[in-house]
């Protein structure tokens, strides 16, 4: 939808509702587009518990001391 600046000023609250609902609104000045109103999509969120199940592998020797740090463990 294209709308002039003066129309946008007069109906701004309505335009925001329409943009939130998914409509794309282009505001024009002297017939040229100057700004676009679009709603912001909520970010995709992963479930916290189990989100990486099957994607992380822990080595069997995970808790073994590292050879390079042997002298620091004494």
Right CATH number for 1-40 from 3.40.50.2000, 3.40.50.1000, 3.40.1620.10, 1.10.520.10?
3.40.1620.10
User: What is the phi/psi pair of residue 35, to 5°?
Assistant: -155, 155
Residue 53 has what pLDDT? 86
Residue 74 has what pLDDT? 65
Q: Select from 32, 11, 54 the least CA-distant residue to 23.
A: 11
Query: Measuring CA to CA, how many Å separate 72 from each of 2, 61, 69?
Result: 70, 19, 5
Residue 11 has what pLDDT? 96
- The yes-or-no verdict on residue 8 having pLDDT over 70 is yes
pLDDT tens per residue across span 50-72: 878 899 999 998 888 888 877 77
């Amino acid at each position: 939808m294209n709308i002039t600046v003066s129309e946008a000023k007069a109906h701004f609250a309505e335009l925001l509702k329409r943009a939130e609902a998914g409509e794309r609104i282009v505001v024009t000045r002297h017939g040229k587009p100057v700004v676009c109103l679009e709603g912001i999509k909520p970010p995709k969120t992963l479930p916290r518990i189990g989100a990486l199940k099957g994607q992380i592998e822990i080595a069997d020797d995970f808790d073994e001391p590292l050879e390079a740090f042997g002298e620091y463990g004494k």
